[in-house]
Amino acid sequence: MPHQQLLLSNQLCFPVYAASRLIIREYQPMLDKLGLTYPQYLVLLVLWEEDGQTVNEIARRLILNTNTITPLLKRMEAQDLLSRQKGTDDTRTVVVRLTEKGKALEAEASCVPEQLVTGLKDTPLSVEELQQLKARLDQLITLLNR
């Protein structure tokens, strides 16, 4: 092959993409028990950290476009996990708040991260190495998100 740079094995994006998909696959059985998709879980993580955020703030934290997150929030509102209300100062702003059901789900979901790490304990990666990998990925995300 004349263009070595086009080999799949030479791409940075592919192992990151593949790892992401495989990690989400590991999460799915735990999230299925909670009745959540992975993107819904991410929205809840943001709101459990700080309730009452705007759609734009949530989209920024998740590195998503608002036109991607709005349908997701509508579905979550239909599930009674959150509510969306126009801002009082600026009616163009939509504030997202957890409902009682959304708040209660936090306790049920609190075991998910530990279950994921426990599922990885039989791998050659230590918890420290996984933490280092996360830190390096955070650096890459920061670099690419400038």
Q: CATH number, domain at 83? A: 1.10.10.10
Place of tokens 């979901």: 109
Q: What angle do CA 105, 42, 103 make, to 5 degrees?
A: 25
Residue 131 lies in a domain: no
Residue 52 lies in a domain: yes
Section 83-97 average pLDDT: 89
Span 18-43, pLDDT tens digits: 999 999 999 999 999 999 999 999 99
- Which amino acid is present at 19? A
Q: Decide if pLDDT at 1 tops 80.
A: no
- Structure confidence at residue 20 (pLDDT): 95
- Structure confidence at residue 56 (pLDDT): 95
Residue 140 lies in a domain: no
Domain of 84, in residue numbers: 8-110
Residue 137 lies in a domain: no
Number of domains in the chain: 1
Residue 34 lies in a domain: yes
Number of C-beta neighbours around residue 34 at 10 A: 14
